[in-house]
Structure 1
Amino acid sequence: MNSYLTYANDPILWLLSLPLVAIVGTLAISYSTKVKKVSPLVNLTPEDQRKAFRTGAISAIGPALGVFVVMLGLISKIGGPLAWQRLSVIGAAHTELTAAEMAAQAMGTTLDSPDYSLVNYANACWVMALNGCGWLLVVSLLTDKLDSISFKLTKGDTKITSIISISGMCGAMGFLAVSNAITSNENMVSAVVAGISMILLNKLGEKIPVLMEFNLGFALIIGLIAGSIFRS
């Protein structure tokens, strides 16, 4: 049944995945270096920079933990090299797992099927890659036009820009949260507990400001634990 995993975890695939992962790491370091260089232009002090990086790193703990948990399941289906490569670029474990499952269904099988073969695995590689290309094309073709579109919508009013940005983020994250929460009882428990935790942690953060940086990560971890307990 899992003979294809022998090829999916071949050392050659690890080597082929390494360049793309290395590019992502190099870009992250490059962006960080450039941010430090231009920070004085916007009066961002070294202390502000450290606080911003620390906040981002801490806030990433919760989402990264969620991705790690799903990644374990992804590795068991498509092997370590491809999972490592895809999540280094996209970072959306559920999206990649869904793409792999859809690729299997298109060929009349499933990821858990005994007849899942090397051909099915190769098809999954193509589907996952092409799925990510759509996002890259939109960014490549429209990024330079977003500034003019934004100015036309807001007339240069930064308050309206903030409202639109926050509303868009709330809508996107709300859609993802609800669409996943309604798929199972444990997901619903995780979402509700994480939401309540975030409210309570924000209240606590008003009294202990230093905790505000940790709230998102803590809330997500609490939600994951609550969902796991409910499921077990």
Structure 2
Amino acid sequence: MCGRYVIEGTTELSERFQLRQIPADLFPEWTTYNAAPSQLLPVIVEDAAGERTALDMQWGLVLRWRRPDGKAPVTPINARAETLLEKPMFRGLTKAKRCIVPASGFYEWRKVDGRKQPYYLTADDGEVWGLAGLYDVTHDEENDAAGSFTIITTAANPLVAPLHERMPVILRREDEEEWVSRDVTDPLQVERLLQPYPEDAMRIYPVSPDVNSPRNNGPELIERDGVCRSP
């Protein structure tokens, strides 16, 4: 799965994802070393003019349907690539509301000596990734609009598998345009893009357990923890 990730927000994100002009003061606000569910985080969508733009949305998809028992609705932070077209909650979004989630890397945990040890996974070449996501915009009782999103996961590659059986879908750079395009409405066409990322293009190392709490947020969270061995 994917439950925490990192965004090092700089003006380079605008060039990396070919965004229309974004106010420069937004980039520092987007920087987070411990992105967690329910937070407002930037996602990239294609607007009606065919231009890419970044919008703040809540991580955890707010579903339009309500539970019959009156309990709080489920807000999934992840969606399995293999079942997107089987589940009504995701099928329509796969057709028309796909987004890119910028990420410098993500965290995953493994039990080591009786405790959960976090690891940081990032691109071997330092490039910012584009994770595959789905989004929706809902309206409250006062008709105020709010966006929310979920990150799509796939089977883990051999590098991630010792930590977890799932990993986020990291889009190949050449596939990002097709994934986010509003002109592509056949979900079967984009389903083939949802594959595990090559392990030889990633690196992994242990980091401090401070990342376990979403209240902690700083560049020290992605520094290598020299006490723990890599998996």
Normalising by structure 1, report the TM-score.
0.24
Normalising by structure 2, report the TM-score.
0.25
